[in-house]
Structure 1
Amino acid sequence: MNYCYSRAALNGNICRSPIAEAVFRKLVTDEKVENKWMTDSAAVSDWNVGRSPDARALSCLRNHGIMSAHKARQVTKDDFQTFDYILCMDESNLRDLKRKSNQVKDCKAKIELLGTYDPQKQLIIEDPYYGNEKDFETVYEQCVRCCKAFLEKSH
């Protein structure tokens, strides 16, 4: 089984990473390979643990026919031992994750930027929290491009 895990720290797992998680989950379902993937998202911080995604993120997903029941959670040591891939949104996330992974025995996760898969070469997925609906749509579009390319490469 493959495992995909997206993660963002700055927004506390309520904007970018839940969008990426929902997009990836829909893609694997549409491709009928959902039994090969376990998908989740989390944050380094505990700011919003237990909360639903930002209302603008949920609205953006609904506009694209995607539903999400995600609840924010904090990354755990087990995540580094369970997931094959941990995909993050920006370089700050990447640094934080790599630092945390160095503290985990038997870390098997490949940690990288989700944007490295973007055919349009948009490496960083910016946090839309302080933006508007258009910014959430931009995140959604980036996640679709990146997740499709990642899925094509991974199976």
Structure 2
Amino acid sequence: MGDGRRMPAPRRVRLVVAAYLLVFAYGTVVHVLHLLTGGPRPYPSLPAWLALYFTSLTVLDPLAAVLLWRRRTAGLVLGCAVLVTDAAANAYANYALDPAPGVTPGRVGQAIITLLALALVGAAPWLAPWLRSDRPPSPPRS
């Protein structure tokens, strides 16, 4: 369509986007609770840079959710970036910094985040055509 309107997304696309809206909403709640219960240093055992990253997810998770909800490609890109970096940050925290042997709740959580990241990155080419471009439309050529 040349008038700027988009076709409605298929049900499968809407379900995948809805699932990731829930993922980012859950992440928002977790990080907000960490801030509310942890005081000025919600992650005291982590290096400052890593604690700052986890704190930034309080803003990045809901931003990705809102942009995805609005069917913006920026939401898909941000969502992929957030999940991939969150998986990497959790891997560092749970494997490099945590001396506990074997399976821990943090390592299970890290595995889940990694699977979610891989799934969204894998689905991105399939989802992207159903999202609105973040660029303004180019003027018609004469």
After TM superposition, the score normalised by the length of structure 2 is: 0.29
Answer with 1 or 2: which has the greater Rg: 2
TM-score (norm 1): 0.27
Q: Identify, as 1 or 2, the structure richer in strand.
A: 1
Name the one with the larger helix percent.
2
